[in-house]
Structure 1
Amino acid sequence: MKLLTTANISRGEAHKAINAMRKVFDPRDLRPGHAITATFGLIEKTGNDRRLTGISFNPSMDKAIRISRNDTGVFKAHRLDRELKEQVVRLQGAIKTSLYAAASQAGLPPSLLMDVIRLFSWDVDFQRDIQSGDTFNVLAERSHLEDGRIAHWGDIQFAEMIVSGKTHRYYRFESHDRKGKARVGYFDESGHSARKPLLKTPVDGARLSSRYGKRRHPILGYTRMHRGVDFAAPRGTPIYAAGNGKIISAGRKGGYGKYVQIRHNERYATAYGHMHRIARGMRRGKRVKQGQIIGYVGSTGRSTGPHLHYEVLTGGRQVNPLRLRLPSGRKLRGKDLATFRSVRTFLDRRVASIPAETRLTQR
């Protein structure tokens, strides 16, 4: 409404156009960056005053919304869908300077790269393990228009990373529970889930700035035990729950500043300190899921700059999160395992038969 009224469209006219739009598109789905075109015509009686005759915009590359005024003065809305072509592509690369540079060179878009990082985050420490010569190989769905322009990327079907000579390989597999509800996950060659009880890094794109162990405290000045790891990241970067669990503490806690602790099971708990703010609704007793945002990176408490102080506790005592060996997650069995093996064979053949795109420019 505000966007239209700032273009000198009366509230009454804007209201009528928006009501027409609702029949084909929810105005709440408009996002910053969507370009909206408004057309006007002169009112015949005066020849000078103008009135709104139409609105058009493209909410996505494959959709167009057109709202026009008919001869009786009533707004009508239409949605035009452009046909998309689906394909599966393979993208691979070798790391020379950084994973991000290699991904860009291979044509892996940032959104898909983040999916890859999250998929391997239980096995690979992206702050310490990645080095020159490591490789990745990804099979993913992609949709494009007839003219070749990419509309959007779909699911990763297969992903492989070779890090420090060790191969990590996962396949997408969909199964169903007893109620028929679909369960989608990624599994290694043996049918073990990629998902582990705890994430290795509960914040995206962060730099490991301080390890577990003795160090000279940057504020207090003396040497003391640092019973966690610090991840430097810009203020406001989302912090994720490392695993499913229940919040047992949320609020200010001395030198930790704004702090959250999550109890995951009888053995493990995790703690997060120096938050800029705790996410809305995160309070003691709240149950959270792995990957759910619980707060945002900050510098509260005894801190010299924005970072996350992260701790893993076993039996109430802090342990080194970087050396923690976690039990494996879900294991496929019976019919699910047999079906998965067929899917794995199919995807292996696809990986072998589809040439890799070494450079992909999105126009």
Structure 2
Amino acid sequence: MFGGKSKTQIAQTAPAASTATLDFEAQFQPAHFQLDPFAARAAANRLSRVTVELEDGDTLTALLVRNEVSGDEARATIEAMKSAYDVRKARAGQSFTLLFDRSQPQSFRGIEFDPDAERTVSVTRNSGVQFAATTAKRALSSRTVAARGTIRSSLFEAAANAAVPSQVLQGMIKAFSYDVDFQRDLQPGDKFEVMYDMQMTDAGEPVRSGELLYAQLTLSGKVKQVYAYKHEDGSVDFYDRTGKSVRKSLLRTPVDGAKLTSAFGMRRHPLLGFTRMHKGVDFGVPQGTPVYAAGDGTVDHANWAGGYGRLIKVKHNAQMTTAYAHLSRFAANIQPGAHVRQGQVIGYVGTTGNSTGPHLHYEVMKNGEQVNPNNTMLPAGTNLEGRDLVAFAKVIGDRETQVASLGTGVILASARTTVVPVACRADAPC
């Protein structure tokens, strides 16, 4: 262990004559060497561990040398480490555990550290000043987490107070974006509820959020719910309680965190000064915000278009086309003829063409005529049937049981929501 001396034992049982050659060869394969447990325990007991932190402006080499590691050993350690870790990513405050065996002439035996919550990197001495690096994945477990809260000023603030990960929040917004206008439909006092997977270490440290499982919005007393359902092919879609797809042919709001700054209809043009028809809707969002394809389709146009600036048009079917104007740039591989999926990033918000500031101008065209996206009836996606519908009913039951287990133990988001793992409530307290 860590280069220390150890004894090995080799099985001495004589093989049968008919298989003597094969068994003899098998006996001496590396997998049949066993470390003497007493020697291993003794070696482990001799090791001392010193935990140190990288200081501001420090280097790993300097850190090692400052802690009784020779220059040659430090350089060899860093060189070996490069095969498992980009040493340039080491930052001030990062902890490293140095291993020493004071009974050995060369007492430094190696270094261990966790570059992130998911893995441990070890660099250990082989012989002399030769070191080798290994990476071990840390065991992660998936836990179902739920949070709920009341919206006071914005959904983003309420979700942040509830410690809802941004990835989960964006997933919830996308799932509801087919029939919820997040700028106009949300009011103070509205409520949200969300359930999602969270990957955690054995110590209970959150590592990353997983899939959105369930979400609910209560808007002016009207409850809207979406449930995730995984199909046999592994794809995941969202459905209401009856198994109807929440997907529509087109998104009403193809950008996250959007503020409606100009509606469809007659308006005074901000640059030209006279009143004319505004044949789309404008969303005020920061420069560079991703813009999503409102539905599956084929890129019909991706180029400069006069006052529209950088413009993308996506043809969805024989009747429906959407347009996205004033973009700062197009996403990779977005060009005429490219096929896009609903929710795919196709460009980024800008202020090109006739524009007073960063925003997305969004148009929906039916049979070549611009129509109001908020007043247009959009056909729904495919609904669940047969075995899928039966399986989905069980999913709903499971989610309701998990939500009920939260009881009243979650504080309102406006007062700092406590996020409680479902498994830690009711009959299985933490």
TM above 0.5, one fold?
yes
SS of residue matched to 2:353: coil
Find the counterpart in structure 2 of residue 323 from structure 1.
375
Q: Is the 8 A contact 1:20 1:67 kept in 2?
A: no
Identity fraction in percent: 41
Find the counterpart in structure 2 of residue 291 from structure 1.
343
Q: CA deviation at 1:226?
A: 0.5
CA deviation map 1:253-307 (0-9, x unaligned)? 0100110100011111100111111222211111111111111111111111111
Q: Is the 8 A contact 1:37 1:56 kept in 2?
A: no
* Pair 1:116-2:116 in alignment: no
Find the counterpart in structure 1 of residue 285 from structure 2.
233
Q: Return the match for 1:302 from 351, 354, 358.
A: 354
* Pair 1:333-2:378 in alignment: no
Q: Return the match for 2:146 from 74, 90, 95.
A: 90
Q: CA deviation at 1:130?
A: 0.5
SS of residue matched to 2:180: coil
SS of residue matched to 1:342: helix
Find the counterpart in structure 2 of residue 63 from structure 1.
119
Q: Which amino acid aligns with 2:410?
A: E
Distance 2:324 2:249 in 1: 17
Q: CA deviation at 1:75?
A: 3.4
Find the counterpart in structure 1 of residue 404 from structure 2.
352
Q: Return the match for 2:205 from 142, 149, 156.
A: 149
Q: Which amino acid aligns with 1:76?
A: A
CA deviation map 1:283-341 (0-9, x unaligned)? 11111111111111111111111111100000011001122221111111111111111
CA deviation map 1:103-135 (0-9, x unaligned)? 223332322212211111112111111101211
Q: Which moved more, 1:69-78 or 1:157-166?
A: 69-78
Q: CA deviation at 1:165?
A: 2.4
Q: Which moved more, 1:352-361 or 1:128-137?
A: 352-361
Q: Return the match for 1:159 from 203, 211, 215.
A: 215
Q: Is the 8 A contact 2:118 2:140 kept in 1?
A: yes
Alignment of 1:124-203 (within 5 A): 124-176=180-232, 181-203=233-255
Q: Which amino acid aligns with 1:241?
A: A
Distance 1:19 1:247 in 2: 44
Find the counterpart in structure 2 of residue 43 from structure 1.
none
SS of residue matched to 1:70: strand
Q: CA RMSD in A?
A: 3.2
Q: Return the match for 1:17 from 63, 70, 80.
A: 80
Q: Is the 8 A contact 2:77 2:110 kept in 1?
A: no
Q: Which amino acid aligns with 1:20?
A: S
Q: Which amino acid aligns with 1:292?
A: Q
In the alignment, structure 2 segments of 5+ residues that lack a partner are 1-57, 63-70, 99-107, 412-416, 421-430
Q: CA deviation at 1:53?
A: 9.2
Question: Which has a greater percent of strand?
Answer: 1
In the alignment, structure 1 segments of 5+ residues that lack a partner are 41-51
Distance 1:140 1:159 in 2: 9
Find the counterpart in structure 1 of residue 423 from structure 2.
none
Distance 1:153 1:250 in 2: 35
Q: Which amino acid aligns with 1:17?
A: A
SS of residue matched to 1:234: coil
- The count of residues paired between Structure 1 and Structure 2 equals 339
SS of residue matched to 1:182: coil
SS of residue matched to 1:354: coil
Q: Which amino acid aligns with 2:244?
A: H
Q: Return the match for 1:206 from 236, 254, 258.
A: 258
Find the counterpart in structure 2 of residue 47 from structure 1.
none
SS of residue matched to 1:235: coil
Q: Is the 8 A contact 2:327 2:348 kept in 1?
A: yes
Distance 1:96 1:346 in 2: 30
Taking a change above 3 Å as real, the CA distance of residues 160 and 34 of structure 1, as seen in their structure-2 partners, is farther
Q: Return the match for 2:276 from 215, 224, 229.
A: 224
CA deviation map 1:195-240 (0-9, x unaligned)? 2211111111121111111111111111111000111111111111
Q: Is the 8 A contact 1:198 1:243 kept in 2?
A: yes
TM-score, scaled to structure 2: 0.71
CA deviation map 1:2-42 (0-9, x unaligned)? xx9997999x9699536632xxx7x69x98979877899xx
CA deviation map 1:23-66 (0-9, x unaligned)? xx7x69x98979877899xxxxxxxxxxx997765343132223
SS of residue matched to 2:83: helix
SS of residue matched to 1:17: helix
Distance 1:32 1:310 in 2: 44
SS of residue matched to 1:200: coil
